[in-house]
Amino acid sequence: MQRRCLAVHAVLLIAAIALPLAASQPWPLCGRNANYTAGSTYETNLQDLALTLRAKASSSPTLFASGTNGTAPNAVYGLLLCRGDVSSSDCFDCGSRVAQDDGQACNRAKDSALVYNQCYARFSDKADFLTSTYNTPEFQTTYLISGTNISSTDVAGYNRAVTEILNATVRHAVENSTRLFATGLRRGNDSGFRDIYSMAQCVPEMSSTLCRTCLDGLVGQWWNTFPRNGEGARIAGDRCHLRSELALFYTGDPMVLLQDVAPVNAEETVYQITNLPVDTTDDFESVKSTLLSLALLRLATDNFHESNKLGGGFGAVYKGILSGQEVAVKRMAKGSNQGLEELKNELVLVAKLHHKNLVRLVGFCLEEGERLLVYEYMPNKSLDTFLFDTEQRSRLDWSTRFRIIEGVARGLQYLHQDSQKKIVHRDMKASNILLDADMNPKIGDFGLARLFAQDQTREVTSRIAGTFGYMSPEYVMCGQYSTKSDVFSFGILVIEIVTGRRRNSGPYLSEQNDEDILCSVWRHWEERTTVKMIDHSLGRNYPEVEVVKCINIGLLCVQQNPVDRPTMADVMVLLNSDTTCSLPAPAPRPIYLIDGISGYSQTISQWSWR
């Protein structure tokens, strides 16, 4: 079988070198096992199926159709996949050619594939190809677009550029397209490189995981199949397609755009890095692969245009498009020592963290006095924009709120226990919980985070930083912080999610009754009237036992003494426990009082730690 596949590929390559892509279509691939006769039931079934696929594919948003017609031994299986950028009418026309050409092009072979510039069709008397992960080798084309090589003084660089745009296009097709289709463009430069156009596509009925497997396989085949420095090539099969050319072959704007910008000036970069704190410089080797140029980020954000501004704390955050993907670019305030400290922590810590409930760092830039961090873009922004907005709050039904609570708990457990380093976030609050398109939570903003040794229980600082209302009393009054400080902040967050009320509002007083929201919840807990604190916007559409359980967990987390608070691992167990099980009762209401500045007014100098 392998020898046969190689023979088929060799014939195709010879033909492709002799005939450029503009030559007459189709390019047929014909099986040798069996043929059907003219006028037979099989031929009728095949023709009917071809017309059906033409109609379905051209009218489908995915420009794809598959199906079967007839019964054994005359059953015919087929698919038609039009290139994802063509119009419905062009797809219909290409499907019409399939119906006309199949019998003649392959001498009525039962197994056949017809490849056109705008579509791919496959027919067989067996259904295996419809569920395979990879292209069927005998029916995968490997065409050179041209038999000539481009002139470039940097062949290796050109090949890297082709591989780069192919990988970026594959990634976009798999991660950002429900149709599993993407086009790409890598801009050339003045070093002899020209613009490189690309396309990646899978049949839309595949899962994104299988699509990636198939396309990654084609990228791996690319340089083993085609000569280096070639002008273009195409691999097309019954599951996935990959294509690269120096001439534009698709319609519309590219979905992925890579700019071949001048490299970052090495001396300037070293200067910027040596002006970072020493321990940041030591860790730079572990993150330098994510270094991005300022020119690229200016292009991505339209030169940091005001219309792309999303907000920000120690600097502004801008929305941008980088390699076809939406990103958030955090721009630290120039000349700010605090901004430098923020970048140090986020750069060194976040680059090492990988968890679905933590915002992913894409890259960073240190040029011309700029300090920029690039994150994945969260389309639903932050939790506070929904939770504390009377109109938006209705989007937070109870199942969404519980999923957010659970996701944040899972992310904190990773930081405290499961990551390579123990990390205390120190600024857990609703505005630092970002929401993706499906309202799944991701913890962001690690500017105040601190590394802990695995056996370290606490740290002391003279610089209190964070957000009053979320900070634990031992941190506010004594500068002592630990993982239990994050647990306290998480407890406040849970109470806010359940009640829909913000603790951090002026003097920490709820608008309804001039009583701090934390005090209100404690009072209702003691009076066994906790349900009165549940957000009224939920109506009665929630499981009362589960909601009360979350209030119970929130109060356990905000207990006065750190030793009494659960760990985040404990919290995960409690969240996933049977709602009929009794949870531990929190200790009596804390003795600290509330004031309008720090949130606490009683000085307590001794705390218990675990």
Task: Determine contact, residues 290/350, Cβ cutoff 8 Å.
Answer: no
Whether pLDDT at 209 is above 60: yes
Q: What is the pLDDT of residue 490?
A: 96
* Residue 604 burial (C-beta neighbours within 10 Å; 0-12, 13-18, 19+): middle
Whether pLDDT at 23 is above 50: no
Q: Among all residues, which ones are annotated catalytic?
A: 427
Our CA angle for 151, 156, 159, nearest 5°, is 80
pLDDT band at 584 (very low <50, low <70, confident <90, very high): confident
pLDDT band at 191 (very low <50, low <70, confident <90, very high): low
Question: What is the arithmetic mean of pLDDT over 30-43?
Answer: 92
pLDDT band at 577 (very low <50, low <70, confident <90, very high): confident
pLDDT tens by residue, 221-260: 887 777 776 778 899 999 999 999 988 999 988 998 887 5
CB atoms within 10 A of CB 449: 21
Question: What is the arithmetic mean of pLDDT over 435-452?
Answer: 83
Whether pLDDT at 515 is above 80: no
Task: Determine contact, residues 486/425, Cβ cutoff 8 Å.
Answer: yes
Residue % of the chain over a pLDDT of 70: 76
Q: What is the pLDDT of residue 296?
A: 80
Q: Do domains 266-376 and 384-575 have the same CATH topology?
A: no
Between 3.30.430.20, 3.40.1620.10, 3.20.20.30, 3.40.50.720, what CATH number should domain 31-131 receive?
Answer: 3.30.430.20
Residue ranges of domains in the chain: 31-131, 155-258, 266-376, 384-575
Run of H or E residues at 222: helix 208-225
Task: Determine contact, residues 362/290, Cβ cutoff 8 Å.
Answer: yes
- 262 or 170: whose pLDDT is higher? 170
State in words which class domain 155-258 has: alpha beta
- 158 or 586: whose pLDDT is higher? 586
Identify any residues that bridge with 433 across adjacent strands, giving them in sequence order: 443
Whether pLDDT at 192 is above 90: no
Mean model confidence pLDDT for the chain: 79
Whether pLDDT at 272 is above 50: no
Task: Determine contact, residues 187/153, Cβ cutoff 8 Å.
Answer: no
Q: Global pTM?
A: 0.54
Task: Determine contact, residues 586/555, Cβ cutoff 8 Å.
Answer: yes
Tokens 């020119």 correspond to what residue?
Answer: 295
Residue % of the chain over a pLDDT of 90: 36
Q: What is the pLDDT of residue 582?
A: 75
- Domain 384-575: which topology? Transferase(Phosphotransferase); domain 1 (1.10.510)
pLDDT tens by residue, 386-409: 999 888 888 899 999 999 999 999
Q: What is the pLDDT of residue 578?
A: 78
pLDDT tens by residue, 461-513: 545 566 777 888 887 777 777 889 999 999 999 999 999 998 854 333 444 44
- Domain 266-376: which topology? Phosphorylase Kinase; domain 1 (3.30.200)
Q: What is the pLDDT of residue 334?
A: 66
